Amino acid sequence: MAANSAGLQILPKSFGPEYGAGNAVEVCGNEIKIHGPSERDSVLASLYNEYPNMIVVDYTLPTLVNDNADLYCKVGVPFVMGTTGGDRDRLYKTVDDSKVYAVISPQMGRQVVAFLAAMDMMAKQFPGAFSGYSLHVESHQAAKLDTSATAKAVISCFKKLGVSFDDQIEMIRDPKEQKELVGVPDEYLSGHAFQFYYLSSPGKTVSLEFQHNVCGRSIYAEGAIDAVLFLAEKIQSKADKRIYNIIDILREGNK
């Protein structure tokens, strides 16, 4: 819906596991044919040749991040990578070496990224401000395979602020607990991301709580479309910089 609302053309092909090859899914009235791993090289190259202005949006699995990026860079197609995980150093090197345009961000929700940016600024301006404080983190997400990249980024900021943390995130993935413990609405049990950060002073006399809760996936879809439009402008203007993130998009949006 986000792509249609932005006036973008959704191309009728996507990639999936081999057992789903040949099937089709309907997205906003568009029939999308699924191609398996054995077809993806030739299909992507052919599609890019037919649609030279195309941009790939990748929301797949952590285990596929690097292989997918290798393919996009091999073909030369620009892409938006919203998938978390993978070898991030290798990912950035692959894209940098290929000179392909890309937006890479494990968090596509612009408002959540703005919160992360604020946390980073606080950590840089007030290092050690929470020295001695302890941190407990809860991550409630639907069927997520890896640890929340957003939670890890927030924790990194807290550590710079002097907070003591043992790197143990309580990851709650059971829908029953998600509903009963934090009140995730029934209709969003299959798609949500609730993160809680509890800070406590050494004597437990002072406590602070931070949280960011997302129901559904529209915030990520809208962020991905913003990234596509942003990247299209950079490609058209032949910008020297090739790799961007959501912070870059936020900054330009405020000019």
- Active site residues per annotation: 140, 144
Burial of 241 (0-12, 13-18, 19+ CB in 10 A): exposed
In whole angstroms, how large is the CA radius of gyration of the chain? 20
Nearest to 210 by CA among 254, 249, 161, 145: 161
| CA angle centred on 183, ends 179 and 188, rounded to 5° | 65
* Separation of alpha carbons 130 and 158, rounded Å: 8
* Separation of alpha carbons 44 and 28, rounded Å: 22
Nearest to 135 by CA among 79, 56, 26, 210: 210
